[in-house]
Amino acid sequence: MNSRPRNFKPGAERTAFVPDRIETYQVKEECGLLDFLLASMPQRKRTNVKELLKHRQVAVGALPVTQFDHPLTPGDEIRVNLTREFRVFYHRRMKLVYEDDDIIVVNKGYGLLSIGNDKVREGTAYSILREYVKWGDPRNKIFIVHRLDRDTSGLMVFAKNEKAKETLQHNWNNMVLERRYLAVTEGTPDPSTGIRRSYLAENSVHEVYSTDKPEEGKLAVTRYTTLKSSNPYAMLQVELDTGRKNQIRVHMAELGCPISGDRRYGGHSNVIHRLALHAQTLRFVHPVTRREMAFSTPVPSSFERLLSCHKPLPKDPAPFCEEEYDE
């Protein structure tokens, strides 16, 4: 008796998914990639190792490498996928900076939501990474650990499993050792270096404001240093002791120097058509290995262009459109 379903079509059998089998190696001294692999995988023939390289099954950090003599330095992590080629992550608004079994670090572009809201579900940093990790195995998951405002660009870390997520979220203030932002403001703060401390609360239209009443808000501490100024703009390095919604934007506006492009908090100009705020440096303790991880990104080229613009600021703040700032 034929046990096949009535609508069965020849060739329609579904092949069971085979999960990636990945071996990971740590580089301890300078050498070439092929020599390192041969020494680390003595059970495999030279031709087999070359095939792994040829078919993009070897990655240095987050990036697949095919070059036999690719130089390695101490601290590099080598991953070998014995099942299939590594997928090369590409998205025009987000770059993959680092990946291992537990975390992913990305450089998020401006205009990209960290995670969906009532109006937007797809096309967010979270949904893009969710699709990426499921390519390797449909059972894979991605977890958001913290957020950046939609129009803030820069470094974000995501967790790839529950353990990493819980560890980072529950110990965020202790595990994050350094967070530095770059901001281009309208005007130069006086003093040029300082600390802004207040309690932040949110009103019914989701606008954040400072209060001196601890019972009404959450403590927010922002440290800033003016790196350079070129009338009417200044570039600031900003460090966070706390991580509150819109914290930098509110504190800069209260100093009388709103961030360029920040129409919600009093910005007058929008020369580069974006919020001039970028999460440049992120240093934290790895949630599983406990190693210190440090990442940094270049200064956005548009920020440098903005500093070279000497056109006087408009007298009135730019009109605010709430939809542009949904988070």
**Residues forming the active site:** 149
Take residue 214 and report the two structure tokens written for it: 């601890």
Take residue 159 and report the two structure tokens written for it: 């967790």
d(CA 131, CA 42): 35
d(CA 69, CA 67): 6
Do 109 and 148 touch, CB atoms closer than 8 A? no
- Nearest residue to 261 via CA among 320, 220, 175: 320
- Nearest residue to 180 via CA among 24, 325, 284: 284
- Nearest residue to 156 via CA among 208, 96, 198, 212: 96
- Nearest residue to 62 via CA among 145, 136, 144, 137: 136
The counts of H helices and E strands in the chain are 7, 17
